[in-house]
């Protein structure tokens, strides 16, 4: 897992506005991509792939709400031309074309004369923090979506339309927009659960053991939290403006649903904030554990040194080769009757003396001084 | 305690919106749960468990205020159906059903046409930071509460109604709502006291002794503070909107009481902020104490090394076996009259020389240089 | 000092709303506490202790401004009853009674129909960060104060009234309220001076020497700063609302004075913020000094090791007892003419070789590498 | 690269307002600098260098939009005089002259009676964080730009005019202003990519290896992020005021484009914030890795000490020269039959005893205690 | 420099409101201090010291603008009386007298009925962060300034009046106020340059070498930055209110100039914020360098230990005195033909074995593990 993640670079989250496409090529004879359309009303629905715009016009005329989904990015360099064609048909603004092509937009809501343009970022894979852009247009009787990749998290919405579950078939296009945005916001929850699991594992590891990989794992989580927050924060703002603003395309009843969706976004942000703070608190615990380990190791070193170095000196002294024959002062101890036992006792005495000296100097009492000073 | 807490996982604080219940089951023949009702007026009160909605209608007609409490979660998978039945009877909004079933909502206030919907999170056990959701509807002459678990912190409110204490029996349903919210907010105080006690204990431990478990304990406190803040912060916002907004269901006199309740919430937040800062300040003190301990241990090591390693070298030298007979240069000291005492003195001199060298190089003065340099 | 402070617990700053008093006792035959009253006007003043409310009515009728001070807390459990009696006489709101009894309120301003209720927190002792609550009512021709303890910081105000100094005797009750609030805000300055002194002492200690108690002292200061900020921050908000709001009881001219008072509160907050940042900057300096100390100690250890361990090995080698008679390869050095001097020289050479090796490997140049590499 | 960067000093980012130019010199006979002009309309464009203001007047009269670019800074001390001449011709405000000469202004928008004054900071070189000031005037039919250096990032705008690409030739001067500001904002993206690359490299280095230069590299990135943020933040504010304010010179359609430009600025800020947080998270990982390294080294030291110091003492003891002939107590072991093997075994036993002692004391189990304690 | 700075205490930045002066002394027969006056108009100016207020009245009557400067603080305890005299003459508010006497006010703007009161804090010495208060009154045709010390940074303004440079002599008193405030704000820039220089020096020191005094120097800079920010932040607010508020004394044209001045203040704050963040980033680099140094030192220690302790044990073993005559098991090696060379080889082998053991255990690969693991 660590290896795979390493290759999602920071650079990968980045691209410059206006640099993706070579705009110099003429925009005429580009084939329309396969367009997936669902039209529905209270009484039924029709779902098909269309190739010509004329088909769309028929659907628009016959059904209360039509959801048109396009995957322009699959066409690669032609993506822009495809979107420009759509822009002409639906009279979308030139700037919007840029926003769809450059798929690293922040979530936002822009109001144009006859439609509403919403950019959202959805999570598809529960193990990946990679978000995909979903651009959405709301018109009077249609919703037009452009996906970054030919996958999305909207199957639940499609199922609701197909099975007529909930109020969706009774409602207008603004409710469809709500349903899509709601599915997008809720697509964050599985990844949040996965993040929570990862934090739980690290929490166990930090509080009970000492694992050197913890900082790297924690770093991955913090980067994921940062990325998610960067995606969801603008979504909250966008939802806020959808609730507040008096946009004619959105009914008051739908606004209630959007308010609920906004609450979900706020909850996600709350959780992310908490994860961030928990991570940094765990990091601090990890630090102190590292420092405790060092203290332990040093204590071991010190104890060995205190126990073995002083008697080693004594042994060294009585290993000296001074000639006791040339002088009565030269190591007469070596000839004493109790010389050897005395030397051994001297070693023990020296060691104890050093321990006592350090103890009374207070250097050995460092570990928990209060336990002594309390009554 | 530590062991138990470890199993309240981060994941436990989490569930996805809309995933709890299998909505596909038909919602008809589910038995109503036991509903606890208190109806009261200035002159008396009646308290009973009802099983049929018709009983409720009679109570509503005869008493100024009725408090209906339901514990839908006990029914498990049927919870949603029960709430949907209530929603039909009281004409509650569809979204509200979701909010009641998914019991991890943030505190909030939502205004609907004929009632007010309030979500709060209450603390039941003073040793647990686990909050339980209490969903509350305010109507003209009733308050409807849905609990997450069949326990709450509202016994004081019930007692006030039963004994006619305070103004509650004279007031309308909005005052009952205030009394409930007030009891919920005040349910945080015992846990705050318990947190303050735990911080006091850690403060003692940090300032007077050195305890390796401190970081873990502190981490638990910080997580609890984070959890509480995440619960109480939206409550403050919700209370703020209750005070500010001109909701027809709330009288001006009750608004005064809600302002008081809001002040309590602000005080809780203040205290939590202070606890957070105190914890992080304590953590820093703990760090420096750990670093001081390490310094102490290192000083011991250094002193032993300075005292015993240099004479060991001297002893080693005079323990060499050079043959003094083959050359007058080969360790003539061994045959000197004062050889041995001289060697001992040499050891002492070498040790002192090293100490002096280090001292004048300034390496031993590191501990508190200013005491020397001041007049 | 440290010892005494330790017993001001975090728990001490805490009490639950509504738990202090047993409200079940009947509130009739409680003796009025001694009430201290000062009535004054441009021409004179009268100061006395009253026991009956009828006396108060006479004073109110005859003097432009009357300041009534009550110390209900001295009566202990009767405190609430006393305040409830006052509440009836002065028609104060029920909630206000709670706020006066539970003496851990935040500073705040509440507007009621005929009076203004102000809660402030004053500092009495310049060595204590303990704040005492002063609850204040402003009426048309009176100011009513309730103290938590029978001490306050308002003697300067009383002296001004008695000696007719300044404009106070010419002004109405709102100016008296200003004078009291101003004295309360200014009561923070002596403690700020004391904090500044303590920080100065720690600054000296951190920058010039190394004192292990610094973190604890710093922690005390930071907790004091936190406590003070928690007291003065709401006071600033309260003053702000007094300036802004169009309260009929406060004249425009008094509002100018309150603006000045607000400036003082802002200055106190500014200073506290600065103290906080200075403390955390000092803490960091303390950290690095600790780390420098460790580095110094380690350098000493390393130097001793480099100087004495390698020659010890050489001495050890020539202290081996291989039998030179059984083989010409067995330590012939021991019989050489220059054997011993050569061994000593070898020791020096080995030591220098190690030093040189480490030096060229760059491990000894760590201390200040730049001084070598610069021209 | 590090060497070059070191000489971009903090001081370099700084100059005092009003100190650049000696204003005392008379402003009459200074030659006009070469002025580069592009005039254009839907049908064509003309591009030339002019030397006299009269030429400008002709161009203004004949073309819908004229873009006049001046590089006053090349004239050095005469810069101010040149700008003052322009100020007279275009009736620009005196203060604006200061802002153009002192090239360290923040981005801002100022509205004057007949024109709009915009200061922006552009990045020219993708490897440098150095921003250059571009001062811009918007008049009814002209845009006047003053550059700090004779380079800019506006070639794309010039190409669009020359080749008639996009809507620029159809639009008025306010669209030209938008196009210029857009190019300026987009000039930040290449440097952001470069920053992201540098962070990716450091991320690899921190997570996989340990590089001592990491902190310095990270510091350079953080300083660059700080500088960029300081440049782009006011740009965002300026763009915000351009969108909000009802300036008569800016059409509503252009405002849509400026909104898009504002979104780009917000995205840049978002990215910079994320880089900042990623850097500080990486720094923490680097810290813990350093601390882990220290722990590893200490463990090695301890193990060597545990393994070799205790047997060294034993060897030292049996190297003592006590005379076994003078006393049966004096090291009889030396004459035992199994003396030497016993001594070797003793060494091993002592070592194992020490290891066991430390192990049972828990000092050696520090490394990962949980792995033992788990089932 | 460090020594001098140490005595600018935190306490020095502090004084209590209302404690400076003994107000009890009668305020009659205090001599007026020397007052410096400049009166000017488009046609000329007059500059003189006046002693009597009557002189001022003549000047006010004859010149469009008069700038009166007073240095009351020189009179010491009489300062208040002098200012009170002025207050009577110019009908200044009582509170203003306090603000002038207590020279530690925050910058602020207060509007009174007929004049505007502005408090600013100016920097006089470019090496000192000590700010001096300049209190300023703006009336219809005069500006009245009170200085804390008889020095200021306003010579450039005086020169402009004397030499008739710029628009100052054509404008009214509000422009004079602007000119003074502008000079005050610009007085911060030299100190900022000096701070930038100091940071540059520390940056060099941190990035290229290791200097133990860095934390102290950095601390001084951070305290200076904090002090400056505390001075300039309220100035920005004050300037903001001057721009926004519709004060009749300030013309719209002057407001443009004040907006420019406000921009300067914002730029100063921006720079200070950046310095603050650069300092804390540098501090972190300093930390890691300290930790790297420690790692280096420890590596040295470990290497010496690994190289010399194991062979020392071997030497110790063969230095034991077991009697090879009493047993063939007692150190037969000593009599072997290749005993000594074998022992030396054994030493080398043991050392290499230890190195290899540590290497394969991974303990020696800590330094840069990635370089090995990469292809």
> Which tens digits make up the pLDDT trace of D249-287?
898 889 989 999 999 999 999 999 999 999 989 988 888
E99 within a domain of the structure (yes/no)? yes
Over range D35-51, report the average pLDDT: 90
Phi, psi dihedrals of residue A236, rounded to the nearest 5°: -60, -45
Residues C328 and C261 in one domain: no
Instruction: Identify which of A209, A333, A344 has the shortest CB distance to residue D369.
Output: A209
* Pair (C163, C51) in one structural domain: yes
Contact C304 B306 (CB under 8 A): yes
Judging contacts by C-beta atoms under 8 Å, the chain E residues touching residue C301 are 301
Which residue bears the tokens 């501090």? E283
Q: Does the structure show a pLDDT above 60 at C29?
A: no
CA C118, CA B163: separation in Å to the nearest integer? 33
Asked whether residue C162 falls in the same domain as residue C190, the answer is yes
Q: Indicate the SS3 state at residue D103.
A: coil
Do D207 and A338 count as a contact with CB atoms less than 8 A apart?
A: no
Q: Which residue has the tokens 């008025």?
A: D172
Q: For a pLDDT cut of 90, what percent of chain A falls above it?
A: 28
Interface test with C, best of B313, B324, B351 (most C CBs within 10 A): B313
How many Cβ atoms from other residues are within 10 Å of residue D290's Cβ? Answer: 22
Q: Are residues D83 and D169 in the same domain?
A: yes
Look at E287 and C291 and tell me if their CB atoms are within 8 Å.
Answer: yes
The residue-averaged pLDDT of D90-97 equals 85
CB contacts, 8 Å: E108 with chain C = 263
* pLDDT beyond 50 at D27: no
The radius of gyration of chain D from alpha carbons, rounded to an integer in Å, stands at: 37
Kindly report which listed range (A174-183, C87-96, C139-148) carries the lowest average pLDDT score: C87-96
In this structure, the strands spanning D142-147 and D65-70 are parallel
- CB contacts, 8 Å: D328 with chain E: none
Q: d(Cα D159, Cα D150) in Å, to the nearest integer?
A: 18
Distance CA A343, CA A316 (A): 11
Q: Is A351 within a domain?
A: yes
Q: How many CA atoms lie within 13 A of C340 on its CB side?
A: 19
Nearest to A321 among B108, B291, B319 (CB): B319
Mean residue pLDDT across chain D = 82
Residue B340 confidence (pLDDT) above 90: no
| Same domain for B115 and B252 | yes
Per CB-CB distance under 8 Å, the chain E contacts of D1 are none
Kindly determine whether residue C18 and residue B370, on different chains, have CB atoms separated by under 8 Å: no
Domain boundary among B247, B265, B287: B287
Q: Flag whether E4 is in a domain.
A: no
Within its chain, how far is the Cα of E187 from the centroid?
14
pLDDT band, very low/low/confident/very high, at C302 (cuts 50, 70, 90):
confident
Q: What is the mean pLDDT of chain B?
A: 82
Spatial separation of the C-alpha atoms in residues A218 and A274, rounded to whole Å: 14
Tell if the CB–CB gap between E95 and C289 is shorter than 8 Å. Answer: no
Interchain pair A334, D316: CB under 8 A: no
Residue B185 in this model has a pLDDT that exceeds 90: yes
Q: Which of A173-177, C108-112, E23-27, E358-362 has the lowest mean pLDDT?
A: E23-27
> pLDDT tens digits, residue range D154-201?
999 999 999 988 889 999 999 999 999 999 999 999 899 889 999 999
Using CA coordinates, name the residue in chain A closest to B2.
Answer: A207
Q: Please, which residues bridge with residue B142 across strands?
A: B66
Closest Cα of chain C to E58: distance in Å? 32
Residue C52 and residue C185 in one domain: yes
Report which DSSP code applies to D78: G
Residue B246 is predicted with a pLDDT of 75
Domain boundary (C287, C306, C341) is at: C287
What band does D69 get if pLDDT is binned at 50, 70 and 90?
very high
| Strand ranges of the sheet holding E131-138, from the earlier edge strand across to the other edge | E44-50, E35-41, E65-70, E142-147, E131-138, E116-123, E108-111
Q: Is residue C138 a part of any domain in this protein?
A: yes
CATH code of the domain in which E227 resides: 3.30.460.20
Task: Name the residue with higher pLDDT: E8 or D75.
Answer: D75
The full DSSP string for B280-312 is HHHHHHHHHHHHHHHHHHHHHHHHHHHHHHHHH
Q: Chain A residues with CB inside 8 Å of D302's CB?
A: 297, 300-301, 304
Interface contact flag, B200 C11, Cβ < 8 Å: yes
Structure tokens at E346: 């054994």
Q: Do C11 and B193 touch (CB under 8 A)?
A: yes
Q: Which of B326-330, C55-59, C152-156, E291-295 has the lowest mean pLDDT?
A: B326-330
Residues of D in contact with A290 (CB under 8 A): 288, 291-292, 295
Q: What is the pLDDT of residue A15?
A: 54
Q: How far apart are CA C31 and CA A224, in angstroms?
A: 67
C111: exposed, middle or buried (Cβ count in 10 Å: 0-12, 13-18, 19+): middle
Distance from CA of E33 to the nearest CA of D (A): 35
Q: Is there a domain that residue D266 lies in?
A: yes
- Look at A291 and B296 and tell me if their CB atoms are within 8 Å: no
pLDDT: is C99 or E324 the higher one? Answer: C99
Q: For residue E84, is it within any domain?
A: yes
The residue ranking higher by pLDDT, A178 or B354, is A178
Residue E105 shares a structural domain with residue E185: yes
Mutate to test the interface with C, among E3, E116, E231, E339 (most CBs of C within 10 A): E339
Give domain status of residue D53, yes or no: yes
Summarize the confidence of residues B151-162 as an average pLDDT: 91
Mutate to test the interface with E, among D340, D343, D354, D367 (most CBs of E within 10 A): D340
- Can you tell me the distance from the alpha carbon of B292 to that of C290, in angstroms, rounded to the nearest whole number? 7
| Same domain? D89 vs D177 | yes
* C64, two tokens: 């432009």
Same-domain status, D351 and D225: no
**pLDDT class for A370, splitting at 50, 70, 90?**
very low
Residues of C in Cβ contact (< 8 Å) with B282: 219
Given a cut of 60, whether residue E132 has pLDDT beyond it is yes
List the alpha helices (DSSP H) in chain A.
2-6, 53-62, 79-89, 94-101, 155-163, 173-186, 188-208, 214-244, 252-318, 339-360, 370-373
Query: Do B370 and C331 count as a contact with CB atoms less than 8 A apart?
Result: no
Which residues in chain D have their CB less than 8 angstroms from residue A215's CB? 284-285, 288-289
Distance CA A144, CA E17 (A): 67
Burial pattern D246-268, b for ≥16 Cβ within 10 A else e, equals eeebbeeebbbbbbbbbbbbbbb
Report if residue C3 sits inside a domain: no
Of A193, A266, A358, the CB nearest to B106: A266
Q: Is the pLDDT of residue D34 over 60?
A: yes
C-alpha distance from D334 to closest chain A C-alpha (Å) = 12
Reference D5, options D265, D174, D218; nearest CA is: D218
DSSP per position, D177-206: HHHHHHHHHHTHHHHHHHHHHHHHHHHHHH
Chain E residues close to C289, C-beta within 8 Å: 215
Of E186, E274, E319, which is closest to D230 when you measure between CB atoms? E274
Q: Do D273 and D131 belong to one domain?
A: yes
Inter-chain contacts counted by CB atoms under 8 A, chains C and E: 191
CA distances from A100 to A103, D84, E191 (A): 6, 46, 50
Number of H helices, E strands in chain B: 11, 7
Q: Which of C3, C4, C11, C345 is the best mutation test for B, with the most CBs of B within 10 A?
A: C11
Chain B neighbours, 3+ Cβ pairs < 8 A: A, C
pLDDT of res. B270: 92
ipTM for the assembly: 0.79
Q: Which two tokens stand for residue E232?
A: 């300039």
| Interface contact flag, A264 B17, Cβ < 8 Å | yes
- Select from A106, A301, A340 the Cβ nearest to the Cβ of D266: A106
Range of E61's domain? Answer: 29-287
Same domain (yes/no): D327, D200: no
Per the CB < 8 A criterion, the answer to whether E157 and E38 are in contact is no
H-helix or E-strand spanning residue D142? strand D142-147
Residue in the structure block whose two tokens are 């690269």: D1
Give the Cα separation of D19 and C31 in Å (integer): 77
Mean pLDDT over E256-265 rounds to: 91
Q: Which residues of chain E make contact with D104, given a CB cutoff of 8 A?
A: 267
Q: How many CB pairs under 8 A join A and D?
A: 195
Q: Kindly give the interhelix angle for C173-186 and C252-318, rounded to the nearest 10 degrees.
A: 10
Tell me if A322 sits within 8 A of B344, measured CB to CB: no
Compare CB distances from E318 to C271, C284, C322 and report the shortest one's residue: C322
| A275 contacts B210? CB cut-off 8 A | no
Answer yes or no: is pLDDT of A167 > 50: yes
Q: Exposed, middle or buried, D136 (CB in 10 Å: 0-12/13-18/19+)? A: buried
> CA neighbours within 13 Å on the CB side: how many for A251?
12
Q: Cβ(A172)–Cβ(A251) under 8 Å? A: yes
**DSSP conformation class of C347:** H
Contacts of C251 (CB under 8 A, 6+ apart): C172, C174, C175
* Cβ contacts of E330 on chain C, cutoff 8 Å: none
Domain end position, chosen among C260, C287, C314 = C287
Q: Which residues in chain A touch residue D294, judged by CB atoms under 8 angstroms apart?
A: 294
Structure tokens at A199: 């934090």
Confidence of residue C232 (pLDDT cuts 50, 70, 90): very high
Strands (E), chain B: 35-41, 44-50, 65-70, 108-111, 116-123, 131-138, 142-147
Q: How far is E260 from chain C (nearest CA, A)?
A: 26
Is the Cβ pair D208, E257 closer than 8 Å?
A: no
Using an 8 Å CB-CB cutoff, list chain B residues near A203. Answer: 10
Residue B272: other Cβ atoms inside 10 A: 23
Q: Which residue in D221, D217, D196 sits closest to D205, CA to CA? A: D217
Among the partner residues D226, D316, D320, nearest to E274 by beta-carbon distance = D226
Residues D269 and D350 in one domain: no
- Chain A to chain B Cβ contacts (< 8 Å): 193
Of the candidates E82, E171, E204, the residue with the CA atom closest to the CA atom of residue E135: E82
d(CA D132, CA D105): 10
Distance of CA E275 to the CA centre of its chain: 10
* Overall domain count for chain B: 2
């Amino acid at each position: 897992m660590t290896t795979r993640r390493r290759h999602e670079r920071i650079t990968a989250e980045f691209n410059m506005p206006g640099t993706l496409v070579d705009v110099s090529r003429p925009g005429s004879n580009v084939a329309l991509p396969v367009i997936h359309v669902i039209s529905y009303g209270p009484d039924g629905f029709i779902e098909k792939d269309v190739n010509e715009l004329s088909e769309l016009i028929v659907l628009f005329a016959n059904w209360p709400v039509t959801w048109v989904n396009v995957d322009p990015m699959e066409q690669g360099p032609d993506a822009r031309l495809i979107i420009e064609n759509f822009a002409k048909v639906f009279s979308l603004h030139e700037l919007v074309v840029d926003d769809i092509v450059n798929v690293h937009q922040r979530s936002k809501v822009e109001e144009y004369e006859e439609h509403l343009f919403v950019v959202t970022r959805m999570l598809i894979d529960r193990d990946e923090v990679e978000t995909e852009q979903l651009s959405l247009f709301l018109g009077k009787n249609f919703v037009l979506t452009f996906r970054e990749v030919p996958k999305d998290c909207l199957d639940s919405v499609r199922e609701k339309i197909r099975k007529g579950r909930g109020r969706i078939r009774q409602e207008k296009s603004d409710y469809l927009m709500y349903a899509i945005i709601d599915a997008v916001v809720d697509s964050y929850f599985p990844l949040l659960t996965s993040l929570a699991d990862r934090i739980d594992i690290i929490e166990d590891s930090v509080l009970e053991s000492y694992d050197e990989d913890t900082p790297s794992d924690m770093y991955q989580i913090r980067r994921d939290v940062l990325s998610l927050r960067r995606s969801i924060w603008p979504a909250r703002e966008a939802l806020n403006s959808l609730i507040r603003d008096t946009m004619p395309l959105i009914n008051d009843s739908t606004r209630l649903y959007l308010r609920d969706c906004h609450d979900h976004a706020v909850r996600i942000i709350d959780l992310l904030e908490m994860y961030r703070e928990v991570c940094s608190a765990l990091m601090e615990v990890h630090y102190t554990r590292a420092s405790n380990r060092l203290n332990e190791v040093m204590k071991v070193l010190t104890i060995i040194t205190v126990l073995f170095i002083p008697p080693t000196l004594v042994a060294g002294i009585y290993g000296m080769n001074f000639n006791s024959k040339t002088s009565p002062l030269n190591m007469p101890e070596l000839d004493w009757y109790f010389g050897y036992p005395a030397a051994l006792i001297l070693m023990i005495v020296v060691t104890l003396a050093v321990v006592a000296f350090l103890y009374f100097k207070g250097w050995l009492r460092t570990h928990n001084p209060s336990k002594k000073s309390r009554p």
